[in-house]
A and B are shown apart, each in its own frame.
Chain A
């Protein structure tokens, strides 16, 4: 075994760290987060020029990476920088769906995604689906050579900025069937598509989507009719590797700010880090972050194994990231005291993102139960 990154990934990591340190100050980030799209197009182009979007795609589709550890290296730094640009929506979620299911013609779009010229989003979750991946009520039916889609999609990350949405819909079966799900490429300007964008509390952007008799060419179908579920699960597995790695970056920022604060902030005449009550809690935080990091490594390294091995590692990592992320965010705020409650200080923005990560693609309870279900089944 070898727990060191390859030379290429180590270089990628260094480059992103430096770039973000020089170009991604928190005030600039917040400005972008508060803009109408929730991110900066200019930053996105610069990220594309640096090759960061391409690092999330395999060579077969025109990228230069795309493995689990490429995702984890990049997203850990994106977490540390609190980056709001649409890496997850466009490259990981939309990109994986396209790469997994697309025909050669359809995959041609990936070049524009990698260059940053086109944005994708993944419109899968629905108002009643909670975190359940198989719960799709949006329907797609054939009508005189066209696909017609009707339904609603909920909390679609960056869906209000996407040039094309990857929309899932049911072509057979009933709610919670894994079989019968299909995926479609829906250009943003398609008639019948209503997109309502809004900010999220952690500075991201999402939207609600109404599909009202959205008529698509037959060529809009991705992959085989009714067979999209394995690609959906893989896309979300890759997203969860990204999210757990992002969580590590966020936790380490919270950790470093808190350690610094415990060493410098004086109360009752001594640095507050001298108080054993705080020392022991900090020790717990430090220990737990290492657990989260190991779980995230497990998930990134097992993405290419069997479904069961992959999904157990992913659920385990996401459950630990959820539990530990909350611990770190809450403890960092508590140990900082009032200053952490302010908009200006910065810690709160990291804490908000860390808490909200738990609400994307399954929280700690959802993944704990899911892990137990996979674990219970014989290998």
Chain B
């Protein structure tokens, strides 16, 4: 084994750094670093810059416009873009739907949709969860009934992240009630402009709007929008979820959070000394850093294994658990580092153009909001309890 980067890998890293220095707009990275809210335009512009360089679809095969990067390159890219304050690329089209289309989609679907994902023509959102289903995804009830050349869709989806910006939604729908609940599910691509679709915001506990409910009332979807075979959607859904879970480890973002927390630890004072010199705080910080370092290697081990997708079941569940728990530990310790300044919450301070003096230290504004908002990460994408169930089921043979 050799844990050092090769000369080629170092050259690649330098390439990425030079690109970021030249192309990542400071107006965007300042927002990311300051914990401010990004607009749709901010996200779109970074998407376009990456696409122009050919660095958008890191996990796609080259023939479809992907980068063809290996695992180490992907990790380097993730580390560098996160460290530079690049926005996280909205994953629904690129990292979730695209792998499904590439593996299971028809030629027409690939030819039509993949370029539109790359050039930003389509903004996809996810129609998996339903009220009352949650992590028991197979219990979903949204119905799609065949009517000639169309499916008629009725039902409701929920937790649709950034659905307010999307023009397309990929949905799991029930096309049969026979057999096991997993067996009657199909995977449909739906235009959000179709009559009968209503999007309603869900406001989260800290007051932000990032998720939505989507209602379907006799929505007509052409049959050519079915991916793969009817009633085989569960297979594609599971394939998509392994991609989602691997992505949830978020190694690069966790590293940035750790560095940010160290910066806060050096700046905050307790009894006149930097907080980072406080033995209790230092020990808490060290524990997180050790866990993160180990997880980064686990992540690389998974990504570099010859058939990473086949091995992705329990391993991606482990990464989801670790990645989310480390992130929450970082959010928690950052909140606690602020002392009483964790309390003020001036929502406008998170918008660009807010020029008033910050309340307390300039890094304080988003900290408690992030702590509360990130309670969701151990719930979504299959809760961590579900992940533990997957690990034991697959590894204990019971």
Contacts and interface: CB of A to CB of B under 8 A. Distances in A.
B33 interface: no
A342 B343 contact: no
Given A344-B203, A359-B342, 7 more contacts: A127-B360, A200-B345, A201-B369, A334-B378, A338-B380, A343-B204, A356-B343
Nearest to B371: A355
A89 to B, nearest CB: 13
B336 A268 contact: no
A204 B340 contact: no
Given A277-B385, A334-B383, A199 B345 contact: yes
A330 to B, nearest CB: 7
A155 B344 contact: yes
Interface in A164-189: 175-176
A286 B368 CA distance: 26
A349 interface: yes
Contacts of B336: 358, 363, 365
A341 B332 CA distance: 17
A130 B343 contact: no
A103 B362 CA distance: 41
Interface in B364-388: 368-369, 371-372, 375-376, 378-380, 383-385, 388
A318 interface: no
A154 B205 contact: no
Interface residues of A, number: 49
B379 A334 contact: yes
Interface of B: 129, 134-136, 139, 158-159, 202-207, 268-272, 280-281, 332, 335-336, 338-346, 359-360, 368-369, 371-372, 375-376, 378-380, 383-385, 388-389
A268 to B, nearest CB: 5
A275 B383 CA distance: 14
7 contacts: A200-B344, A200-B345, A330-B375, A337-B383, A340-B375, A341-B376, A348-B372
Contacts of A338: 129, 134, 158-159, 376, 379-380
A199 B280 contact: no
Nearest to B136: A267
A154 B341 contact: yes
A334 B372 contact: no
Given A277-B388, A330-B375, A337-B383, A131 B340 contact: yes
Given A127-B360, A330-B375, A342 B280 contact: no
Interface string A334-368: 10011011111000110110011011100101001
Contacts of B360: 127, 154-155
Contact of A360 (B135, B340, B359): B340
Given A330-B375, A351-B205, A201 B368 contact: yes
A268 B136 contact: yes
Contacts of B342: 201, 356, 359
Given A154-B360, A176-B271, A199-B346, A341 B375 contact: yes
A333 interface: yes
B398 to A, nearest CB: 14
A176 B369 CA distance: 32
Interface in A97-135: 125, 127-128, 130-132, 135
Contacts of B379: 333-334, 337-338, 341
Nearest to A281: B385
A240 to B, nearest CB: 14
B345 A201 contact: yes
A155 B375 contact: no
Contacts of B203: 342-344
Contacts of A330: 375
Shortest 5 CB-CB contacts between residues of A and residues of B: A348-B205, A201-B345, A343-B203, A200-B343, A155-B340
A296 interface: no
A349 B205 contact: yes
B379 to A, nearest CB: 5
Interface string A360-379: 10010100110000000000
A29 to B, nearest CB: 15
B359 A208 contact: yes
